[in-house]
Amino acid sequence: MRRKLAAGNWKMNGTTQSLKDLSALGSAHKGSGVDILICPPATLLAPAVQTVSGSDIGIGGQDCHDQTNGAHTGDISAEMLVDAGASAVILGHSERRADHHETSEDVRAKAKAAQAAGLMTVICLGESLLQREATNTLDIIGAQLSLSVPDGATGENLVVAYEPIWAIGSGLTPTPDQIGEVHDFMRTRLERRFGAGVGRSVRLLYGGSVKPENAAEIFAISNVDGALVGGASLSARDFSPIISALEAS
């Protein structure tokens, strides 16, 4: 049985003021039957870890370098995330692939480093609108999945998030059939590469304009084990009903 996961990606949002919402979320979902992960900006990692202590919320980073340390100004290593108290890291988000020209090979190297450091990796994949309209979505997803995910995946160290680029922050979401098609495809690919046991234990998240209004419908889709939420994870008012929908699914 895969444990459901509600993950929040704060992106470049949030100051110490935002920790109040985190604290409210922790109280509202104490003893939750699902895993809850919040990935704040790096400046808030350590205080966020303090804020959630005693609650059931985990804290994660939004990126890491593939080296443990060295002359890489502005970067952060997986070991540093662990040192700050993080248990997970988002890798290969489409915004990093676009803004920082990260390739799937880069993502794989980062994921290897993160898994070696003991972090759970949330590896993001997704097609652009142009790619979807050219109807080769599964080819794109298949290539990103095989290139971005390192060998040695387990249900503990790997989560895959399907995030169509055109659905992120746009208010648009794919139909349930479109989400189901990609998630079933990713499940089959993971089973083929890692064996049925591991392939079935990896959690698959959907991400892209998940809101309180559409969460229940998305969580009812086969092979959707939770969500990676951007905008709606910034306030407890919006994220809490999404977590509740996952708890009820």
Active site residues: 93, 163
Smallest distance, ligand PGA to C-beta of residue 8, A? 9
Nearer to ligand PGA, 117 or 228 (CB): 228
Report the residue closest to ligand PGA, judged by CB: 230
| CA pair distance 74, 113, nearest whole angstrom | 17
- By CB under 6 A, name the binding residues for ligand PGA: 9, 163, 168-169, 207-210, 228-232
Tokens at 142, concatenated: 């298949």
Smallest distance, ligand PGA to C-beta of residue 91, A? 12
| CA pair distance 74, 66, nearest whole angstrom | 13
Nearer to ligand PGA, 11 or 65 (CB): 11
Q: Any idea which residue has 């915004």 for tokens?
A: 95
Nearer to ligand PGA, 7 or 194 (CB): 7
Do 119 and 156 meet the contact criterion of CB atoms below 8 Å apart? Answer: no
Smallest distance, ligand PGA to C-beta of residue 137, A? 18
Smallest distance, ligand PGA to C-beta of residue 208, A? 5
Q: Which residues of 144-175 are buried (b: 16+ CB within 10 A; e: fewer)?
A: bbebbbbeebebebbbbbbbbbbbbeeeebbe
Nearer to ligand PGA, 26 or 164 (CB): 164
Element (H, E) at 121: strand 120-125
